[in-house]
Amino acid sequence: MRLYVCIMIAIIFLIGCKQQPEQKNDVSKANHIASVDYNDQYSEKIKVLVDQKLVGLTYKKNKEKESINNYIVDFSAACMCDTSAMLINSKLKTLYLFNYCIQDIPPKSKDFYLTYAIDTIKEQKNKIVVYTKATEELDALVITFIKKDTLPIYTTTHTGSYPKEYIGSKITQYYTTYKNSRKIKIEDCGDFDG
């Protein structure tokens, strides 16, 4: 009987040892996946929008065909600081909403900004959709970006409560990256002191 028990213990031990290396490989694969930068998981279309300030624009029709000259950073944004901007941080999986006039972008900014945890970012045909999670303070927000055919400008729509307090009461329909906004006319504030 003792011999039988010893043989069973030895078999269980040997089976357990054979499974151990397989588990170790799974753990090393999991660690490798966890170390990948979030931005590497996104398509090129999504990468254009993440990790940089997105600036709200106003459409001003002029005599030109659809061109970048039809969009401006208007007086409300540039002078009154009454327009929101946003940042999709791929590493932290966070959406920040903040005022256009903030110089340092979140999370480094000491100025007021709102923080949303991103649930998912999906690419659907010509759309990029950002889904956020609800918190005690903020409802979930879904923002859809549709790129203009030949322009570095996105038409946006949102569902959920888009907060206006402290970040600007004007919600713009068009956004571009900060880099591209430097090609766009900014309305002159003149003698306005704000």
Position 191 in a domain: no
Say if residue 28's pLDDT is above 50: no
Q: How far apart are the first and last CA of the chain?
A: 92
For 63, the domain range is 40-186
Residues 51 and 95 in one domain: yes
Helix H or strand E segment including 28: helix 2-34
Euclidean distance between CA atoms 9 and 3, whole angstroms: 10
Token readout for 107 is 């999370």
pLDDT, tens digit, for every residue of 34-82?
Answer: 222 445 577 888 888 999 999 999 998 777 788 888 999 999 888 988 8
Residues 69 and 13 in one domain: no
Position 165 in a domain: yes
Residues 46 and 89 in one domain: yes
CA neighbor of 178 nearest in space, from 50, 41, 46: 50
Token readout for 79 is 């002078």
Comparing 26 with 16, the larger pLDDT belongs to: 16
Position 87 in a domain: yes
Helix H or strand E segment including 179: helix 178-181
pLDDT, tens digit, for every residue of 135-193?
Answer: 888 889 999 999 998 899 999 999 988 777 767 778 889 999 999 988 899 988 888 77
Residues 29 and 100 in one domain: no
Helix, strand, coil proportions of the chain in percent (round to 5)? 25, 30, 40
The answer to whether the predicted template modeling score (pTM) of the entire model surpasses 0.85 is no
Residues 30 and 85 in one domain: no
Per-residue confidence band for 27, with pLDDT thresholds at 50, 70 and 90? very low
How many domains are there within the chain? 2
Q: What is the mean pLDDT of residues 15-44?
A: 43
